[in-house]
Amino acid sequence: MNISLIQYDILWEDKQGNFEKLSKFLTGVPDGTDLVILPEMFSTGFSPAGDVLAEGPRSITFEWMQRTSREKGFAIAGSYMVAEGGNRFNRWVFISPEGTQLSYDKRHLFAQGGVEVNYTPGTKRVVFEYRGVRICPNICYDLRFPVWSRNRNDYDLLINSANWPEARREVWLTLLKARALENQCFVAGVNRTGLDGMGIKYSGDSMMIGPKGEIMASGELYRECIISCEINVDELREFRTRFSVAEDADSFIIHL
């Protein structure tokens, strides 16, 4: 599978401006790309104004993603603010040109930042298959909680779409590698750059990591860019067969 990560400076609370910016950016995605991954809250930034910015499940951001996927011929994924059933979610949405549509609601909300205080945490761990790759999505703060994303021999690629501040850059770098190593999987970490409307700075550090903890591709620090990489599931399976860590893993049950 060919994957491209879009690392960019999200315009603050400006959905239409971000759609236009991304549409121009996506012209640089390599031919043959299967999946494009965007950061967390890619259409607004990590804003506390969810009461104003949250939208219905099939509203403007969903429509832009659907149209883009259909026109460009690749799947596209990222999170944005969704209001549904009287609740507000930080929802990661995946849309493919074949018509596949699915979502994951962020489980671990960053209440310390005050932004997600009035959000509802997700209750469902999501794993799905696309073009032969089993994928498990996470969002930002989820990265700190390894039990939630523990590989149960059911996925090959862990995705984390984030707005991860520069102040905790070393944590981001360390945990991305840790998740790849402990789960013997590929990890795609997609972060933003720039300064947001609350004065928080972001370094980017988007990257693809292999199952041995090796960095396969990474973005330029502090700069907008496209990071493209090919992952090979056959090679991953061969590595897992030779070094079968999963067979020694502890069993567990998550109580929600």
Query: Which residues are tagged catalytic?
Result: 40, 106, 140
Let me know: does 232 contact 203? Beta carbons within 8 Å: no
According to DSSP, the residues that pair with 188 across neighbouring strands are: 159, 208
Rg of the chain's alpha carbons, rounded to an integer? Answer: 17
> Alpha-carbon distance 138 to 104, whole Å?
8
> Alpha-carbon distance 231 to 251, whole Å?
28
- Residue holding tokens 């990560």? 5
> Do β-strands 186-190 and 157-161 pair in parallel, antiparallel, or remain unpaired?
parallel
Let me know: does 141 contact 109? Beta carbons within 8 Å: yes
> Alpha-carbon distance 128 to 108, whole Å?
20
Question: What's at 243, amino acid-wise?
Answer: F
